[in-house]
Amino acid sequence: GRSAGRRPAGSYIEAIATTTPLPSPTMITLRKSCDRGYADHGWLKSFHSFSFAGYYDPAHMGFGNLRVINEDKVRPLSGFARHSHDNMEILTCILAGEVSHEDSMGNKTTISAGEFQLMSAGSGVSHSEMNRHPAQTLHMLQIWLYPNVSNTPPRYQQIRASDQPGIQLIASPVEAIPGSMHIKQDAAIYRLKFTGGQHLVLPQQRQNGYLHLIKGQATVRDYSLNSGDALISSAERDLSLVALTDGEALWFDLP
């Protein structure tokens, strides 16, 4: 079959389908926003948390089954033309603007700021993601995780995040949980919305974790995080986020 996330000429080059071993037991690593890869294609400006397209760093090929976190800004009246994926769980988080999505499953949807989309590519799906607004920049996170089962029928899901501060389950291996989506992997993804001074205990049912701070300032233990920073946890327990400002983050509970 095709390698994960193949894209047509003129768009992203396919991601390198390789993952690095997990860090040694019991450790926390802080990765600053400025250390991410960066690409400016004119119509697209993108930060890469892990090696992707023209950005290659053998020390950052992924974390467990988490393969891609791209922070994309897409200028008005442009976007990702029709391209194909297979055997990848693709989560999209819209931070500002909206994306017009069309796919080979027959879906024609709009995903707006505050919404999440999960597309299980499975045996193969093609789609386009366009910013059709004449003036507003589309700002989004595109996240890929390897599935734990191959060549399943492709599937589309979409939810809106809560406006209330706190922790919201976005996706998990458990089906039919109201307000969340089902991911084909032993991983749970949470969205954290916080106000300054708030303490949030990070949900941990698995061995490892990855925290991506979307915006704001916070601390975890003695580590200070700002917008775009990530905290990578291996075999650590009892982690809490202390919010220094209002903000938002994603927490990946990973095996």
Residue in the block written with tokens 């084909």? 184
Q: Tell me the pairing of strands 181-182 and 166-172.
A: parallel
Q: 152 φ, ψ to 5°?
A: -85, 165
Residue in the block written with tokens 């992997």? 185
Q: 33 φ, ψ to 5°?
A: -55, -40
**Cβ distance 208 to 235 under 8 Å?**
yes
Task: Give the list of residues 6+ apart from residue 9 with CB closer than 8 angstroms, or none.
Answer: none
Looking at residue 189, what is its pLDDT? Answer: 98
Looking at residue 209, what is its pLDDT? Answer: 98
Whether 79 has a pLDDT exceeding 70, the answer reads yes
- Where is average pLDDT lowest: 25-34, 91-100, 168-177, 219-228? 25-34
Whether 96 has a pLDDT exceeding 70, the answer reads yes
Tokens describing residue 253: 């509970």
Q: State pLDDT tens for residues 209-222.
A: 999 999 999 999 99
- Per-residue DSSP letters for 107-133? -EEEEETTEEEEEE-TT-EEEEEEE--
pLDDT tier at 176 (50, 70, 90 boundaries)?
A: confident
The share of the chain scoring above pLDDT 90, in percent, equals: 89
Q: State pLDDT tens for residues 113-171.
A: 999 999 999 999 999 999 999 999 999 999 999 999 999 999 999 999 999 999 999 99
Whether 20 has a pLDDT exceeding 80, the answer reads no
pTM score, whole prediction:
0.90
Residue in the block written with tokens 């004449």? 134
Looking at residue 26, what is its pLDDT? Answer: 61
